[in-house]
């Protein structure tokens, strides 16, 4: 019985020590269109995800308060800090102003 209590308490302490959290979100354009294939990264880590065809993503962060970086070749990079208890993120990317090549 003591072994069972010890194991259960060990799991409880281990889960309390982890600050990681699962974050869901959606990335859209300035006109609220879903944006596919946006790379979502947790700054300073190798954790990343890509948005689906409806702009949604899910990423596991290491620490509460991490910063997410959103990148797409045709849009400006965006950095968003995750609030401590925030579980969903709404990100809006602005299209890059790429000049037309001269003819």
Q: What is the CATH number of the domain that holds 28?
A: 2.60.40.4130
- pLDDT attached to residue 17: 46
**79 alpha carbon, distance to own chain's centre:** 10
* 69 belongs to a structural domain: yes
- pLDDT attached to residue 15: 47
* 99 belongs to a structural domain: no
Note if the pTM is more than 0.95.
no
* 42 belongs to a structural domain: yes
- pLDDT attached to residue 1: 60
* 24 belongs to a structural domain: yes
* 55 belongs to a structural domain: yes
The two structure tokens encoding residue 52:
């689906």
31: containing domain: 19-92
- Averaged pLDDT for residues 64-89: 91
* 85 belongs to a structural domain: yes
What is the domain count for the chain?
A: 1
Summarised one tens digit per residue, pLDDT across range 5-54 is: 554 555 554 444 456 788 999 999 999 999 999 999 999 999 999 999 99
Beta strands across the sheet bearing 56-61: 56-61, 21-28, 88-92
């Amino acid at each position: 019985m003591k072994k069972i209590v010890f194991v259960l308490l060990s799991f409880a302490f281990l889960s309390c020590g982890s600050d990681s959290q699962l974050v869901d979100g959606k990335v859209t354009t300035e006109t609220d269109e879903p944006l596919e294939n946006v790379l979502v990264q947790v700054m300073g880590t190798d954790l990343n995800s890509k948005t689906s065809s409806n702009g949604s993503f899910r990423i596991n962060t290491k620490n509460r308060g991490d910063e997410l970086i959103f990148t797409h070749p045709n849009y400006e990079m965006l950095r968003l800090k995750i609030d401590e208890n925030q579980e969903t993120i709404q990100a809006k990317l602005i299209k890059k102003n790429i000049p037309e090549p001269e003819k």
